[in-house]
Amino acid sequence: MLRELRREAYEANVALPRHGLITLTFGNASAIDRARGIFAIKPSGIDYEDLTPTLMVLVDLEGRIVEGKLNPSSDMPTHRRLYRGFKKVGGIVHTHSIHATAFAQAGRSIPVLGTTHADYFNGEVPVTRKLTEAEIGSAYEWETGSVLVERLLVEDLNPLECPGALVNRHAPFAWAATAADAVEAAVAIECIARLAILSLELAPRLKTLEPALQEKHFRRKHGANAYYGQKPVRGG
């Protein structure tokens, strides 16, 4: 099972440059085995082309390295904080993708301007508050996770309906039930951010999407009454 966990984290990590979400070694992905309380994460500073499943570092939810010869990503405490805060999340992705990071650096959430956004997020892509000097000077990476968890809790947002957020002055984090789905959420955030920038250039006074259309597009892909895609075939 731990071999499969490493493989899941590896596949998520190598998907990031394939989707154009990575510059140099900025970013990382992880996957968790909830039953064991162990997650696999990218080792720190290793080029994506050099990654293998066996290089993934296994860490428990107390931050102890369980298996692995390399140091885990410097963002490991952020992943750990998110796994502890979002109990139904099974995978986490962090990138510095250009357009989403631009919103993060500007301290702006990404507004719902069209149906592409509404297909993935039940509302805006939120941005956190700035970290305080005390938070930056103490357990910085852990506190980065804390402001993400805080941001969703403040508005009672479901992490599976809001599968990502922007850390103010930093960059986006995405999460989902699986690491593969977290990669898809990270791709969606970057696409949404780019569309928002282009849309606001064309129409600076553009208002957010009408609530009925927003709700329709989100619910047709998510929830008990979703009808997008194919239903799994049962039986032989």
Report, as residue numbers or ranges, the catalytic residues.
119, 228
Backbone angles phi, psi at 4, to 5 degrees: -70, -35
Distances from the Cα of 164 to the Cαs of 20, 30, 58, 174, 176, in angstroms? 18, 14, 23, 4, 8
Q: Measured between alpha carbons, how far is 179 from 143 in angstroms, rounded to an integer? A: 22
Q: What angle do the packed helices 76-85 and 140-154 form, to 10 degrees?
A: 30
Taken as a whole, the chain contains a residue count of 236
Do 6 and 41 meet the contact criterion of CB atoms below 8 Å apart?
no
Do 59 and 71 meet the contact criterion of CB atoms below 8 Å apart?
no
DSSP assignment of 169-227, as one string?
A: TS-EEEEESSHHHHHHHHHHHHHHHHHHHHHHHH-TTPPPPPHHHHHHHHHTTSSTT--
Do 125 and 133 meet the contact criterion of CB atoms below 8 Å apart?
no
